[in-house]
Amino acid sequence: MMKDPRPVSIIMVEDDEGHARLIEKNIRRAGVNNEILAFRDGTSVLDYLFGADKSGHVSIGRTFLVLLDLNLPDMTGIDILARIKANENTRRTPVIVLTTTDDQREIQRCYDLGANVYITKPLNYESFANAIRQLGLFLAVMQVPETD
């Protein structure tokens, strides 16, 4: 990511502002300085990713990865995941599911739909902070394809 000529944006979909802030803080602590775009609901992130015409053309040329929470007020993260993986322009975009659910069926469904990583948010804060920092370290070495 750091070596990538184009700056990679991190699209964070998280309805809980506190969580969003804590995630951001801990990613930063891992030394990741990329732009983080926070979205609090599904509709706004879909608008950003696919544009007003829902085609996804707006994403051409962008380089980003998605941090996705599954429990959103207006839709489930699984819908968003499915839409991202079904769209011609965004299907190669890495999606990291970061959620509280550790239900095996949910996990399987997410991987079936093409999720790249599934992380269960630890409910204990120390573990949570630790997990996010490690995710940050992981993001720092990860290659992200350009959307075409």
Radius of gyration of the chain, Cα coordinates, nearest whole angstrom? 14
Q: Render the burial of 96-130: b for 16+ CB within 10 Å, e for the rest.
A: bbbbebeeeebbebbeebebbbbeebeeeeeebbe
Q: Assess 36 for contact with other proteins (CB under 8 A).
A: no
Q: Assess 33 for contact with other proteins (CB under 8 A).
A: no
Nearest one of 63, 122, 114, 75 to 98, comparing CA atoms: 122
Candidates 47-55, 74-82, 123-131, 139-147; binding stretch for other proteins (CB under 8 A): 123-131
Q: Assess 22 for contact with other proteins (CB under 8 A).
A: yes
Q: Which of 128, 138, 140, 142 binds other proteins (CB under 8 A)?
A: 128
Candidates 19-27, 82-90, 112-120, 139-147; binding stretch for other proteins (CB under 8 A): 19-27
Q: Which of 81, 121, 144, 147 binds other proteins (CB under 8 A)?
A: 121
Candidates 1-9, 12-20, 87-95, 107-115; binding stretch for other proteins (CB under 8 A): 12-20
What lies within 8 Å, CB to CB, of 112 at 6+ separation is: none
Q: Assess 123 for contact with other proteins (CB under 8 A).
A: yes
Q: Assess 141 for contact with other proteins (CB under 8 A).
A: no
Q: State the CB neighbour count (10 A cutoff) for residue 50.
A: 19
